[in-house]
């Protein structure tokens, strides 16, 4: 099933670029949702034959990363009547260029690190690092609080992909990461975004500039 | 009884506070929870609490040391907030006490657990428990502070998770079930060097964000500056040390598998960079709470330098952790008293403190002297030990940089503290200062003095034992 795993990993990379290029917040969130569903399929492709554990991870991931978080973000966006434009401080073209560099760097890093095991493709580590870095790019170059949350989710997805290599051998590791997403994404950032909307009448985190030296 | 009690007691307190509609009774729960935690901890030191399979709790000198510091600072915070919130009602109502006690429970797990995974979860729990506390003023500035805090610390914690994965990876492909238990890792025959290096980088950057090491420090002055003063004291005196403990846990593993010399330059480099940036920013501070926050960045830098140097410096760093944290909590309490009286965080708006609030003013000056390493307070001894370690290990240039940066920070702080303490109109009347607001800072300073004048033999042994696991030695 190595072929299927590689295909899924490449699709994950592709959704990263969709997020980088997106000019509308709704598209951003949909791309993140698509990535979440792909990430849910990954453990089924990597760990053959299926065990209850990998099935559990798959279902939980699709539910949290693919459905729950994106629909929460969509709902929050409607409630807070956020304007749909992303308003990045870095244009789509330079974002994508930065993304390409990130993928190159991730590839270089993954060949430097020793191989994890025979049935885990080297592409997994590269995809993990690339997703992590692209998440970081989105996080640092978007001004809307909601886009920053999407960037954070991408970053976490990168960590999750790496964890899949271990999920069969170390219990509960990947589950912890998914739980972190849920807690940070929904309970905290969601609430803060609401308060921010009330206090600042805007979700533009670029307006958060009072505290400086 | 086992160590689980140290977690269940604050959790029980949090539950009681959550169910209690009466503010005064909730404060009783808070102080009771803090006091009971302190008493249980003394039982743990005397060996009366056994380890627990649940959460893999075990008691070791290093974790015990940090938890004791956390517990002492927390007790002071509990007492102080009773007085503070008679003057300034918290906006968050019962969320306040619940989150405080929740923080104590999660910090206890961080200090006591033997498992890197559980430690990671507990570290995230400390972030979640403190976020509503920072946001307590519910204004524009505090929402900016809490947004930066959550975003940066969440990124940090995500990277730390990746580091934790790599720590498991470092045990090799052939190991069927890699363990994240510290005691297992300490006795692991061989760790894969490349994976371990990668793990260290991610764990260091991840937890270092929470410690506030430069360049991941940008959330720290905002959060510490905007939070209510008792919370600033808790963040500076307790939370930063918990996060630093997480880094020290990795250093322990590195030391056990003979990789520690590899990490030393990282710790020293980040430490000196933190001291440098903090000293530079201290020179242009106009806000006294942010000033104290940058001073925290500087002192966390000192800890990193000390642990990176090894030998006597590690012992010094651990002692410095105790001394500087107690000083810093005390100073944040005093800053709270100043804020209540002057209603401004600007240094320019505060003058004649010694005349208007004689006790707080004196505590501010004494606390500043203690923190800057004036004898006979504890930081004097600990900084001396760190300098000795630098010379011992043949790195006198580190000692030189350390001294220069300390002098810059001293001058920056001194001019501002003097400006606040002195001056002002002669006719100003002495204001009433309630004991609730004076006893906690005074008590902590007495502890710093006691540590400096007489370092009791049992404490010295504990410090030496903890330092030994990090590659240090008693001076």
Whether the Cβ atoms of residue B117 and residue B90 lie closer than 8 Å to each other: no
Which range, A66-70, A198-202, B253-257, B274-278, has the best average confidence (pLDDT)? Answer: B274-278
The three-state DSSP-derived secondary structure of B436-474 is HHHHHHHHHHHHHHHHHHCCCHHHHHHHHHHHHCCCECC
Between chain A and chain B, the number of residue pairs with CB atoms below 8 A apart is 115
Terminal-residue alpha carbon distance, chain A: 55
CB atoms within 10 A of CB A48: 13
Six-digit token string for A154: 């991408």
- Chain A contact for B135, CB < 8 A? yes
The pLDDT value given to residue B147: 86
* Structural domain span for residue B389: 260-475
Nearest CA of chain A to the CA of B442: how many Å?
31
Of B145, B147, B158, nearest to A205 by CB-CB distance is B147
Number of domains in chain B: 1
Per-residue model confidence as pLDDT tens digits over B104-147 = 999 999 999 999 999 999 999 999 899 989 988 888 888 889 88
d(CA B271, CA B214): 8
Sign of CA dihedral B79, B81, B84, B87: negative
pLDDT band at B296 (very low <50, low <70, confident <90, very high): very high
Which range, A70-74, A207-211, B438-442, has the best average confidence (pLDDT)? Answer: B438-442
A177, pLDDT greater than 90: no
Whether the Cβ atoms of residue B125 and residue B102 lie closer than 8 Å to each other: yes
Task: Calculate what percentage of chain B has a pLDDT beyond 70.
Answer: 99
B355, pLDDT greater than 80: yes
Sign of CA dihedral B160, B220, B30, B94: negative
Is B115 inside a domain boundary?
A: no
- Which residue numbers of A have CB closer than 8 Å to B's CBs? 112-117, 132, 136, 139, 145, 148, 152, 155-156, 158-159, 162-163, 165-166, 169-170, 172-173, 176-177, 180, 183-184, 187-189, 192, 195-196, 199-200, 205, 208-211, 213
Contact flag A192-B281 (C-beta cutoff 8 Å) = no
Residue environment code for B332-345, b if the CB has 16+ CB neighbours within 10 A, otherwise e: bbbbbbbbbbbeeb
Nearest CA of chain B to the CA of A117: how many Å?
6
d(CA B278, CA B283): 9
ipTM exceeds 0.90, yes or no: yes
pLDDT band at A122 (very low <50, low <70, confident <90, very high): confident
Q: Which of A12-16, A121-125, B42-46 has the lowest mean pLDDT?
A: A121-125
Six-digit token string for B219: 């959330």
| A49: preceding bond cis by omega (within 30 degrees) | yes
| B215: preceding bond cis by omega (within 30 degrees) | yes
Is B365 inside a domain boundary?
A: yes
Per-residue model confidence as pLDDT tens digits over B201-240 = 999 999 999 999 989 999 999 999 999 999 999 999 999 9
Task: Calculate what percentage of chain B has a pLDDT beyond 90.
Answer: 73
3 state DSSP class of A42: helix
d(CA B204, CA B166): 13
Tell me which residue of B239, B438, B268 sits closest to B336, measured CA to CA.
Answer: B438
Is B128 inside a domain boundary?
A: no
pLDDT band at B282 (very low <50, low <70, confident <90, very high): very high
More confident residue, A26 or B332: B332
The pLDDT value given to residue B433: 86
pLDDT band at A126 (very low <50, low <70, confident <90, very high): very high
Half-sphere exposure at residue B27, Cβ-oriented, CA atoms within 13 angstroms: 17
The DSSP line for A156-169 is HHHHHHHHHTTTTT
Q: What integer best gives the mean pLDDT of chain A?
A: 83
Residues 271-330 of chain B with CB under 8 A from chain A are: 281, 284-285, 290
Q: What integer best gives the mean pLDDT of chain B?
A: 92
A113, pLDDT greater than 90: no
The pLDDT value given to residue A142: 85
Six-digit token string for B67: 């938890």
Give residue B471's region: left, alpha or beta (phi > 0; psi -120 to 50). Answer: left
Give residue B56's region: left, alpha or beta (phi > 0; psi -120 to 50). Answer: left
- Chain A contact for B198, CB < 8 A? yes
Is B3 inside a domain boundary?
A: no
Is B61 inside a domain boundary?
A: no
Sign of CA dihedral B143, B144, B150, B153: negative
Is B342 inside a domain boundary?
A: yes
Per-residue model confidence as pLDDT tens digits over B151-194 = 899 999 999 999 999 998 888 766 767 788 888 888 876 778 88
Mean pLDDT along residues A79-89:
69
């Amino acid at each position: 099933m190595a072929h299927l795993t590689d295909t899924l990993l490449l699709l994950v990379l592709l959704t990263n670029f969709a997020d980088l290029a997106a000019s509308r917040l709704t598209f951003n969130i949909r791309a993140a949702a698509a990535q979440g569903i792909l990430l849910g399929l990954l453990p089924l492709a990597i760990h053959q034959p299926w065990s209850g554990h990998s099935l559990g991870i798959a279902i939980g991931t699709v539910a949290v990363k693919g459905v729950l978080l994106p629909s929460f973000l969509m709902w929050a966006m409607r409630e807070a009547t956020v304007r749909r434009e992303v308003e990045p401080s870095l244009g789509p073209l330079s974002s994508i260029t930065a993304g390409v560099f990130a993928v190159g760097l991730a590839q270089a890093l993954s060949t430097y690190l020793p191989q994890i095991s025979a049935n885990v493709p080297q592409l997994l580590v590269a995809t993990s690092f690339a997703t992590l870095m692209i998440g970081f790019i989105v996080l640092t170059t978007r001004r809307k609080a909601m886009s920053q949350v999407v960037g954070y989710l991408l970053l976490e997805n990168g960590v999750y992909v790496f964890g899949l290599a271990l999920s069969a051998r170390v219990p509960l590791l990947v589950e912890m990461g998914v739980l972190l997403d849920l807690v940070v994404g929904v309970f905290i950032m969601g609430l803060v975004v609401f308060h921010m909307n009330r206090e600042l009448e805007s979700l533009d985190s670029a307006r958060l500039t009072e505290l400086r030296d | 009884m086992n160590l689980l009690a140290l977690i269940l007691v604050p959790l029980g307190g949090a539950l009681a506070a959550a169910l209690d509609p009466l503010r005064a009774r909730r404060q009783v729960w808070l102080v009771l929870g803090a006091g009971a935690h302190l008493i249980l901890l003394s039982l743990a030191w005397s060996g009366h609490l056994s380890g627990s399979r649940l959460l893999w709790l075990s008691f070791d000198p290093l974790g015990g040391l940090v938890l004791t510091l956390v517990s002492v600072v927390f007790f002071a915070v509990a007492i102080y907030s009773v007085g503070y919130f008679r003057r300034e009602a918290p906006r968050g109502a019962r969320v306040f006490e619940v989150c405080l006690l929740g923080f104590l429970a999660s910090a206890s797990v961080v200090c006591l657990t033997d498992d890197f995974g559980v430690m990671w979860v507990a570290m995230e729990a400390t972030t979640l428990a403190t976020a509503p506390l920072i946001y307590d003023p519910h204004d524009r500035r505090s929402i900016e502070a809490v947004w930066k805090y959550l975003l940066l610390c969440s990124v940090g914690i995500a990277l730390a998770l990746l580091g934790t994965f790599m720590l498991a990876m470092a045990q090799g492909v052939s190991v069927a079930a890699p363990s994240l238990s510290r005691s297992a890792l300490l006795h692991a025959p061989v760790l894969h060097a490349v994976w371990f290096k990668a793990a260290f980088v991610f764990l260091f950057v991840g937890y270092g964000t929470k410690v506030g090491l430069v360049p991941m420090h940008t959330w720290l002055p905002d959060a510490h500056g905007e939070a209510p003063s008792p919370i600033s004291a808790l963040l500076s005196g307790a939370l930063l040390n918990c996060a630093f403990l997480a880094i020290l846990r990795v250093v322990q593993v590195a030391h056990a598998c003979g990789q520690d010399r590899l990490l030393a330059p990282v710790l020293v480099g980040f430490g000196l960079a933190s001291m440098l940036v903090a000293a530079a920013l201290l020179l242009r501070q106009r806000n006294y709470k942010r000033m104290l926050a940058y001073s925290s960045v500087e002192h966390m830098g000192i800890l990193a330098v000390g642990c990176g140097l090894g030998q006597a410096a590690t012992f010094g760093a651990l002692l410095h952790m105790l001394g500087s944290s107690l000083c810093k909590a005390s100073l944040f309490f005093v800053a709270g008293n100043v804020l209540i009286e002057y209603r401004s965080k600007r240094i320019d708006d505060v003058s004649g403190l010694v005349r208007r609030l004689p006790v707080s003013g004196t505590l501010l000056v004494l606390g500043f002297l203690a923190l800057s390493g004036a004898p006979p307070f504890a930081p004097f001894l600990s900084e001396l030990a760190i300098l000795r370690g630098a010379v011992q290990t043949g790195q006198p240039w580190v000692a030189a940089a350390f001294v220069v940066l300390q002098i810059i920070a001293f001058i920056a702080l001194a001019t501002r503290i003097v400006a606040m303490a002195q001056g002002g109109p002669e006719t100003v009347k002495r204001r009433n200062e309630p004991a609730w607001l004076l006893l906690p800072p005074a008590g902590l300073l007495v502890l710093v003095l006691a540590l400096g004048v007489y370092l009791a033999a049992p404490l010295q042994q504990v410090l030496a034992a903890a330092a030994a696991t990090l590659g240090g030695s008693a001076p």
